[in-house]
Amino acid sequence: DQQVKQNSPSLSVQEGRISILNCDYTNSMFDYFLWYKKYPAEGPTFLISISSIKDKNEDGRFTVFLNKSAKHLSLHIVPSQPGDSAVYFCAASPGGTASKLTFGTGTRLQVTL
Amino acid sequence: DAEITQSPRHKITETGRQVTLACHQTWNHNNMFWYRQDLGHGLRLIHYSYGVHDTNKGEVSDGYSVSRSNTEDLPLTLESAASSQTSVYFCASSDRSGSGADTQYFGPGTRLTVL
């Protein structure tokens, strides 16, 4: 039972355009969401997060939107750069003192010139 | 600089052998986690620890064990390696900040092949 779903395994975007990566979740107990970025042969690195009390969080070129009623979040990258080419994982947690993360299957983003 | 390291980075072993993967962090974090990454599954939690002498089973714990004798280390042991345990293994750590879910910091991974 996949509680966090990333239904697009891959995405290709031109440099300078917007990249939109999507994530859906099923567990209503999740109240904190994170995006991780992973390059080949490296560990995932934290990118941006959002608490369920917010519907948007922005950090430079990266913005995460949360729609709690739809149990959906998205990561927007504007403008996309070739260095953004990586696998992006969505993760969710019930927060509090139990900070276990449940990860999605990942979306491979390729930013082309 | 604080960091989290894993060793070895690559390991080939035979079915039935016992294998131990090391994880060491210098962040002084309370929480440590082991994940495996497989195509089509993302990262799945194997075991985790919230402090010294504390260990808990994750989503895919069968065939694995951990022990936490100090803050810095959480070794992962495969008691009798199976081909289904061929995977990339990631260790992570986080500090219990109390402000919601704690951001986890990941090691570089260990690629394990069981023949």
The per-residue pLDDT string of chain A (113 residues; one tens digit each, 9 = 90 and over) reads: 789 999 999 999 999 999 999 999 999 999 889 999 999 999 999 999 998 999 999 999 999 999 999 999 999 999 999 999 999 999 998 865 446 889 999 999 999 99
User: Which two three-digit tokens encode residue A74?
Assistant: 């998205």
CB-CB neighbors (< 8 A) of B27 in chain A:
none
Q: Are residues A43 and B102, on separate chains, in Cβ contact within 8 Å?
A: no
Q: Are residues A99 and B94, on separate chains, in Cβ contact within 8 Å?
A: yes
pLDDT of residue B77 exceeding 50: yes
End-to-end CA distance of chain A: 38
Q: Nearest CB to B42: which of A34, A41, A104?
A: A104
Do A23 and A11 touch, CB atoms closer than 8 A?
no
The CATH number given to whatever domain includes residue A86 is 2.60.40.10
Domain that holds residue A55: 4-105
Measured distance CA(A17)–CA(A76) in Å, rounded? 10
A43 touches chain B (CB under 8 A): yes
Work out how many domains chain A is built from and give that number: 1
Residue A15 in domain: yes
Measured distance CA(A99)–CA(B30) in Å, rounded? 11
End-to-end CA distance of chain B: 37
Residue A113 in domain: no
Q: Are residues A43 and B92, on separate chains, in Cβ contact within 8 Å?
A: yes
Do A75 and A20 touch, CB atoms closer than 8 A?
yes
Residue A110 in domain: no
Q: Are residues A103 and B42, on separate chains, in Cβ contact within 8 Å?
A: yes
Residue A49 in domain: yes
Strand partners, A10: A108
B107 touches chain A (CB under 8 A): yes
Return all residues near A25 (Cβ < 8 A) that are at least 6 apart. A3, A4, A5, A33, A71, A72, A73, A92
Residue A13 in domain: yes
Strand partners, B20: B77
With tokens 């509090």, the residue in question is: A96
Residue B99's pLDDT band, with cuts at 50, 70 and 90, is: low
Residue A112 in domain: no
